[in-house]
Amino acid sequence: QVQLVESGGGSVQAGGSLRLSCATSRLPGSISYMGWFRQAPGKEREGVASINTHSQTTYYADSVKGRFTISQEIAMNAVYLQMNSLKPEDTAMYYCAAHVPPSRFYGVRDPRSYVHWGQGTQVTISS
């Protein structure tokens, strides 16, 4: 079992920044992908950013490219999401998730690829 704990959410004005953190209980080598997802009320869960924990290759949704950065700190068993130039449409509950082989992989932005999820942290951006 992998435990994931998010932190760092909050309320900021448009144009501001937030840094989300996700602490994992699992040794880094056993997780192949970490992802950040978000879900706004009435909307489907959306893949925001993902990272291959072995190659450090990163993937971003078009809506956040150039504004968000996902990174991994192996020594701390942690993944971060730096969010800059925030917009009101970024308002959502943000979740981190882990893909652990041999569970089936549907793609980096497909929630079905990630069996393990954190409890979420709320991000609210005011205009």
pLDDT at residue 4, as a whole number: 94
Give me the amino acid identity at 79: V
Please give the pLDDT value at position 27: 64
Residues constituting the chain:
127
Spatial separation of the C-alpha atoms in residues 6 and 66, rounded to whole Å: 22
User: Can you give the C-alpha Rg of the chain in angstroms?
Assistant: 14
Rounded-to-integer distance, Cα 85 and Cα 97, Å? 24
Rounded distance, CA 57 to CA 11, Å? Answer: 29
Per-residue confidence (pLDDT) for residue 77, from 0 to 100? 86
Chunk the chain into consecutive blocks of 10 residues (it has 127) and report each block's average pLDDT, rounded to whole numbers.
92 98 81 95 96 94 98 88 98 96 92 95 97
CA 6/CA 18 separation, integer angstroms: 13
